Amino acid sequence: MALIIYFFLFSPYRWWMVINWLQVLMNSLVWGCMYLLATVGLSLTYGLSRFPNFAHAEYITFGAYMAYMFFSILGLDLYLSVGLAVLSSALLGGLSYILLFKPLKSRGASLIHLMVASIGLGLLIRHTLMQVFGGGILSFKMIWSCIFIGPVVTTPLLLTAIVTAFIVAILLHILLMKTKLGKAIRATADNPELAAASGIDMDRVSLFTWLLGAALAGFSGVFLAMRSSLVPLLGWKVLLQAFAITLLGGIGSFYGTLAASFILSLSENLGVVALTWLGLSADYRSAVAFIVLVSTLIVKPEGLISTVKRRA
Amino acid sequence: MGSILNTDNLVKRFGGLTAVDKVTLNVEEESIVGLIGPNGSGKTTLFNVLTGVYRPDAGKIFFRRERIDGLQPHQVYIKGLVRTFQTPKIIQKMTVLDNVMLAVRNPGESLLAALFRRRRWMGFENRLRERALEILRFLGLDKHAYTPASELSGGQMKLLEIARALISEPKMMLLDEPTAGVNPVLAYTIFDRVEELRKRFGITFFIIEHRIELLMKYVDKVYVMHQGKLIAEGGPNDVMNNPDVVKVYLGSV
Amino acid sequence: MPDPLMYALDAVAYAGIFGMLSLSLNLEYGYTNLANFGKVAFFMVGAYVAAVMARMKYPFAVYALVASLVAGFIGLLTSLPALRLREDFLAITMIALGEVMKLIVKNEEWLAGGVWGLSGIPPAVVVQGLSFRERLLVQIALIYGCLVACYVVCELIAKSPYGRVLKTIREDELLAAAYGKNVFRYKACTFALGSAVSGLAGALFAQYIGTVSPYMFEPTVTFSVWMMVILGGPANNTGAVLGAFLVEGFHRSSRLLKDYIGLPLDPINLQVMLTALLVITVVFYRPQGMLKERITPLDRGLLKKLKPMYRRVKTWVRS
Amino acid sequence: MRASRSLKAISTGLALIAIVVVAIIAGVAGYYAGQSAAAEAASAAYQEGYDAGYQAGLADGRQQALQEVSPVLPSEIKIGCIMSLTGFLGPMGENIVKGVELAVNEVNARGGIAGRKIKLIVEDDGTDPTKGLEALKKLVEVDGCQVVIGPMASGVLRALGNYTNEHKVVLISPTATAPYITTEFPDDYVFRTVGSDTLQGKALGEILVDRGASKVVILVIDNAYGVGIMEEAMKVLNDRVVKTIRYDPSKLDFTTELQTIKDLNPDAVLYVGYYEDGKIMFKQALEMGLDNILWVCAEGVYGDPMFEEPAAAKFMEKACIGTRPSAPVGLTSYELFRKKFKEAYGEEPPMYSDTAYDATMMAILAIAKAGEYDGPKIREALIDISQTFMGATGYKLFDENGDQLYQVYEIWDVVEEDGKYKFVGTGYWP
């Protein structure tokens, strides 16, 4: 830490002068939005079903591949294909809940068994996708022209992603706060026994959450893939970040996730700036998520906004 | 006789809910004290606070004139304060005998001892086994000593819990509903054993119980808890005639 | 010239190394319910420490010891923040650790060759003038010596009051704490021991393969080890070793099989898909694994069986 | 109830055991079935003798090699091939196997080596050294291959070096370019038909100097390939380098790295990467308006797959030049290869399919010349062959390390013609 401060203040190059800080902020905003979409579902299902679903990464990948299939192979309209992709991703999430996780839970599977099963499911989905679409890189073949907003460069896709994320956030806020279903979701995440006792249809609430979470994951997958390209490891590459955000935000907490997404993306981008200027490999970027994760566990294991009790 | 356990304005909150609200109680040595109250009145939470599962938000706990609040559960245990659980915590994948023996601090419980100095703890282990068998015999479980604990009936599991608590030679035992889900005959046996234990070994008991009529036959003193507060204390008859208590019970029914 | 026996023996050697990993995970997961999803990280640490030291011409005994100590220490250090919390937190932390450790060895070239990896690691036992088969047999002897040692350690632990405490913690942490067990210490101790065993396996692996590189230590290694334990039977050391044999046999046979069955699937894809399906099936229908945990009293453990045998051998030697 | 449950448990357990046992038995049985089939084929092939094989043997004036053929060859000559079909290099691997297949099919169509058909056995290493070693062991120990083409990645090759030397199996990699590969195992069984990065790093550095770049940022993929070229290029560029950045290819966002470059405002960027990350890098570089500086790239991004991403194509057209190992100017043998490849697969030969073709051809010729399916003999024959061999990518004369002595690098540029992008050569290095 002292080293970093020293570097900040006394480096002979005054390198912080040459950095376009606004651009760094912009990148953080974009990534925060992507992380938000990718993570909300993970956090909600984690809160509701009480286990981390490692297959969530594969919902992201699946959504992207489905969008690719509808758009580039079947040649459907862009918006229609994205919609269909989100739907099929939701379907995958719902199916994996109904066919795998729900029966497993009702058989009294332990937390670890659930985690192992979810990793297995993730590998199954990933390698099935690899088998169908090949292990190669696919691309949506779209060109985004750059837009200059002052010193900041961006593209229409990124702006769309930001706007979408904000709309989704507002809709989620309304859903969770204003509707009966949303209240049921929050109540169940808070205390499943109490919720069941007070007449909430747990099955319906859980299923809805899984559908919603997977749908949002698929949505984020489409953005991630359009921004870069489509590979079978697309989802796995953001999974570590997603978990860091989930834990930092507090499991099952939407607002926590919202805040944590932006905190993590900002610290990642600042981290990359620091790394490149310290002469270290920018590869360490994902270590930022790890550091956030571990320090959360040490300092505030219940996350920013806690809903679920952490101690066994 | 002095007091063995007393608390001073003990408070435990969960979020907005105050589960234990300024509880001050005093348990005399070698007595049997009951704790009653409607469901959700904070009895088990109080036990959890006493045994270090939860750290109290305020207040003090003294056990044999020593502060024990803030200690970890295993440290509390070492002081001689042992508890049982509402739903019996039985290790299904162990024999009944092992279930009892795990309660004792054993020189073989360190990693190095497990690997290298086996002879040292094996003697201890053998003596411990004899003692465990003796206690199982006392509670009528000796026939099942070598069967997996999962094959016991509900009542036997309760007895097993008591056996486990006993073998550690505690100064005081906290029993959380020792007769829940047990047939009436066995329930009386359990309380008879409790009585006998107190006489033989001078163990103090603090018991949460729902079968009030049963409890009242054995206890020296009863505390009544409602919404986290102690609302009454005293001998069995005093408490049963206390209007607050009657109101609480009638109100809650 | 074709020598399929060598291939089979190679599989046996691999199974031995993975058997050690499986045993260590069994100790952590099977007995203590610790979800170590970062097994590969400790395996990697062991392999790298061994690689660096073996190239400096330290003897095997020394670098194997150091490798396991370092792996154990790192295991202890990183698990500390998560051990007090629920098992899923440990799982997530460990997965992340695996990725980050790989990043470090990949990027720090001064440390361990970076992206190049390290090669030219001499085998632990060098005897001049041996044929390939004999050399492989020496390797197998070494690996199985270590495996047996680990097995005995795990059995001794399982059949001791220490093991009893671990099982208590596994079934109910609250109970263990209420009966005077320092749950945190036991967990940390077990985690360190498990990591140390993984480190030893890593050391064996490094000297057997002769090369280490960051690309060898992907998360799928962890998943295979989990597969071994879950398939073989958690909390059963024999089952864990059996699981290692089954999974390794399964991997090898799928590579052989693809030459004779014209499947339209890529063998590695197929391998992963089948493995994943098998795990899900086992978790679903037979969570206790192939060999169940045995519920035996402590006093009927290993030593009771071994002692008469030992005596017999002693009298035989003396006569 | 309990009885039926335990029955069920036992039956599922038995079923699981059965699955695994059947898999193992099937594997073993399959092996022996294959062996006996091979023996049958052997007797048939022996009767035909090598006379027929000589008649149908390889054309192209290589009789000299074939005259020495003796009938000791097995009835079916197995050539192993280890490629990364899954994993990070998966997309490239599939293309490279095509080059190997092309050579094998071509020789088989002409009757094989002295009448013996060549059987190609392709194994996947998943870009994982452990799996690569396992695949090699399988090829050598189960199939009895003495010649193996591959593997692709330098990191995998390194894990195989020792085993190869000990078991005296010839290993020819068409793609592994890391400098240390051959020097670490000198005088050995490891060869390659592609130039070492020592040369390419130098080539890239000198091109940058030629173009008068005085402020260069080096941006490389963080693996053996990228770092290898970076280190060589640094030797040429010295203090012209203002910053080196190693990026993680598995991250899909490089905006921060690119922003750093933009802030530095260099004359040129030296870029090393593969298709996957290259596409994203170029796309994002275009988005950030970095197309006004010169990008000099290594061969990892040379190939039509790059144009699948229109933004990357546009960027390359605007900003990129690069090098790639290639045949000397207007080489007839390359044109021949290109024609054959197009006939067989209906596409332009992708990157490294030519070196893979050459590697396979050399292996086949070496087997033919050795006249015996035996590693050490094939190795000697291979070194002999390399003296005169002219492949699709030119002369392949091996030095004492098993590296080819000459490597020409084509300097390429990207142009747009009728809305289609393509690579054109603009010169050669050296």
Name the least confident of A79-83, D69-73, D175-179.
D69-73
User: Per CATH, the architecture of D69-194+352-398 is what?
Assistant: 3-Layer(aba) Sandwich (3.40)
List the subunits that have 3+ CB pairs under 8 angstroms with A: C, D
Name the least confident of A20-29, A251-260, C167-176.
A20-29
At residue B230, the pLDDT reads 86
List the subunits that have 3+ CB pairs under 8 angstroms with D: A, C
Residue D60's pLDDT band, with cuts at 50, 70 and 90, is very low
Of D12, D144, D178, the CB nearest to C286: D12
For residue D244, is pLDDT > 80? Answer: yes
Residue D58's pLDDT band, with cuts at 50, 70 and 90, is very low
Spatial neighbors of D70 by CB under 8 A, at least 6 apart, are D50, D371, D372
C186 touches chain A (CB under 8 A): no
CB contact under 8 A, C277 and A110: no
Angle at A12 between CA A9 and CA A16, to 5 degrees: 55
Of D252, D263, D287, the CB nearest to A153: D287
Question: Looking at residues A24-28, what average pLDDT do you find?
Answer: 85
Residues 225-254 of A with CB under 8 A from D: 227-229, 231, 233-234, 237
Comparing C184 with D66, the larger pLDDT belongs to C184
Residues of chain C with pLDDT under 50: none
For residue D421, is pLDDT > 90? Answer: no
CB contact under 8 A, D86 and C269: yes
Name the least confident of A95-99, B118-122, C121-125.
B118-122
Is C222 within 8 Å of C29 (Cβ atoms)? no
Query: Is CATH 2.60.40.1180 correct for B1-80+170-253?
Result: no
Of D12, D161, D246, the CB nearest to C119: D161
Please provide the DSSP assignment of D35-95 as one string. HHHHHHHHHHHHHHHHHHHHHHS--TT-HHHHHT--TTS-SEEEEEEEE--SSTTHHHHHH
Residue A100's pLDDT band, with cuts at 50, 70 and 90, is very high
Is C46 within 8 Å of C32 (Cβ atoms)? no
At residue D28, the pLDDT reads 47
Is C111 within 8 Å of C70 (Cβ atoms)? no
Comparing D289 with A222, the larger pLDDT belongs to A222
Identity of residue C154: C
Angle at B166 between CA B162 and CA B169, to 5 degrees: 160
Residue A267 CA to residue A272 CA, distance in Å, equals 8
Residues 238-257 of D with CB under 8 A from C: 246, 248
Q: What would the CATH number be for the domain defined by D198-327+410-429?
A: 3.40.50.2300
Residue A282's pLDDT band, with cuts at 50, 70 and 90, is low
At residue D91, the pLDDT reads 67
At residue B202, the pLDDT reads 86
Whole-structure pTM value: 0.85
At residue C49, the pLDDT reads 93
Question: Looking at residues A218-232, what average pLDDT do you find?
Answer: 85
Contacts of A109 in chain C (CB under 8 A): 283, 287
CB contact under 8 A, C178 and B93: no
At residue D17, the pLDDT reads 55
Name the least confident of A13-27, C40-54, D50-64, D263-277.
D50-64
HEC profile of chain C: CCCHHHHHHHHHHHHHHHHHHHHHHHHHHHHCCCCCCCHHHHHHHHHHHHHHHHHCCCCHHHHHHHHHHHHHHHHHHHHHHHHCCCHHHHHHHHHHHHHHHHHHHHHCHHHHCHHHCEECCCCCCCCCCCCHHHHHHHHHHHHHHHHHHHHHHHHHHHCCHHHHHHHHHHHCHHHHHHCCCCHHHHHHHHHHHHHHHHHHHHHHHHHHHCEECHHHCCHHHHHHHHHHHHHHCCCCHHHHHHHHHHHHHHHHHHHHHCCCCCCCCCHHHHHHHHHHHHHHHHHHHCCCCCCCCCCCCHHHCHHHHHHHHHHHHHHHHHC
Question: Looking at residues D19-33, what average pLDDT do you find?
Answer: 49
Please provide the DSSP assignment of B105-173 as one string. --GGGSHHHHHT-HHHHHHHHHHHHHHHHHHHHHTT-GGGTTSBGGGS-HHHHHHHHHHHHHHT--SEE
Q: How many CA atoms are closer than 13 Å to the CA of C278, on its beta-carbon side?
A: 29
Residue A8 CA to residue A15 CA, distance in Å, equals 8
Name the least confident of B145-149, D24-28, D125-129.
D24-28
How many angstroms separate the CA of residue C186 from the nearest CA in chain A?
Answer: 16
pLDDT one-digit tens code per residue, C21-51: 999 999 999 999 898 999 999 999 999 999 9
CA dihedral B203, B207, B211, B216 (to 10 degrees): 60
Q: Are chains C and D touching, using the cut-off of 8 Å on CB pairs and a minimum of 3 such pairs?
A: yes
Question: Looking at residues D322-334, what average pLDDT do you find?
Answer: 73
Contacts of A121 in chain C (CB under 8 A): 276, 280
Q: Are chains B and C touching, using the cut-off of 8 Å on CB pairs and a minimum of 3 such pairs?
A: yes
Name the least confident of A3-7, B208-212, B234-238.
A3-7
At residue A312, the pLDDT reads 34
For residue A309, is pLDDT > 90? Answer: no
Q: Which residue of A has its CA nearest to D307?
A: A141
Q: What is the torsional sign of CA A305, A309, A312, B6?
A: positive
Is C75 within 8 Å of C42 (Cβ atoms)? yes
At residue A187, the pLDDT reads 81
Is B163 within 8 Å of B175 (Cβ atoms)? no
ipTM over 0.95: no
* Beta-carbon count within 10 A of D424 CB: 11
For chain B, the domains span 1-80+170-253, 93-168
At residue D64, the pLDDT reads 41
pLDDT one-digit tens code per residue, C162-191: 888 999 999 888 888 888 888 999 999 999
HEC profile of D346-367: CCCCCCCHHHHHHHHHHHHHHH
3-state secondary structure of D167: helix
At residue D394, the pLDDT reads 73
At residue C48, the pLDDT reads 94
Of A283, A287, A297, the CB nearest to C89: A297
Contacts of A112 in chain C (CB under 8 A): 29, 33, 35, 87, 91
Q: Are chains D and B touching, using the cut-off of 8 Å on CB pairs and a minimum of 3 such pairs?
A: no
B105 touches chain C (CB under 8 A): yes
Contacts of D224 in chain C (CB under 8 A): 115-116
At residue B86, the pLDDT reads 82
At residue D7, the pLDDT reads 57
**pLDDT averaged over chain A?**
83
Of D13, D27, D180, the CB nearest to C253: D27
Question: Looking at residues A298-310, what average pLDDT do you find?
Answer: 67
At residue C302, the pLDDT reads 52
How many angstroms separate the CA of residue C301 from the nearest CA in chain D?
Answer: 25
Ranges B159-173, C177-191, D185-199, most confident? C177-191
At residue D1, the pLDDT reads 44
Residues 224-283 of C with CB under 8 A from A: 226, 230, 265-266, 269, 272-273, 275-277, 279-280, 283
CB contact under 8 A, A276 and D260: yes
CB contact under 8 A, D124 and C266: yes
At residue C214, the pLDDT reads 86
Mutate which: D76, D89, D134, D154, vs C, most C CBs within 10 A: D134
10 Å CB burial of residue D69 (0-12, 13-18, 19+) is buried
Residue A268 CA to residue A73 CA, distance in Å, equals 35
* Beta-carbon count within 10 A of C88 CB: 23
Domains contained in chain C, number: 1
CB contact under 8 A, C81 and A294: yes
**pLDDT averaged over chain D?**
76
At residue A263, the pLDDT reads 92
Is D355 within 8 Å of D396 (Cβ atoms)? no
Tokens of D377: 């003999």
pLDDT one-digit tens code per residue, A114-170: 999 999 999 999 989 988 887 767 777 676 667 777 777 777 888 888 998 999 999
* Beta-carbon count within 10 A of C198 CB: 33
How many angstroms separate the CA of residue D10 from the nearest CA in chain A?
Answer: 18
How many angstroms separate the CA of residue C51 from the nearest CA in chain B?
Answer: 29
Residue A266 CA to residue A261 CA, distance in Å, equals 9
CATH number of the domain residue C241 falls in: 1.10.3470
For residue B184, is pLDDT > 50? Answer: yes
Q: Which of C11, B26, B237, B192 minimizes the C-alpha distance to D141?
A: C11
- Sequence ranges of chain D with CATH classification 3.40.50.2300: 69-194+352-398, 198-327+410-429
Check whether the bond before D325 is cis (ω within 30° of 0).
Answer: no
For residue B107, is pLDDT > 90? Answer: no
Mutate which: A229, A233, A237, vs D, most D CBs within 10 A: A229
Question: Looking at residues B41-64, what average pLDDT do you find?
Answer: 87
List the subunits that have 3+ CB pairs under 8 angstroms with C: A, B, D
Question: Looking at residues A39-59, what average pLDDT do you find?
Answer: 91
φ, ψ dihedrals at B171, nearest 5°:
-85, -30
Residue B198 CA to residue D175 CA, distance in Å, equals 83
Helix (H) or strand (E) holding D241: strand D241-247
At residue D39, the pLDDT reads 45
Residue D252's pLDDT band, with cuts at 50, 70 and 90, is low
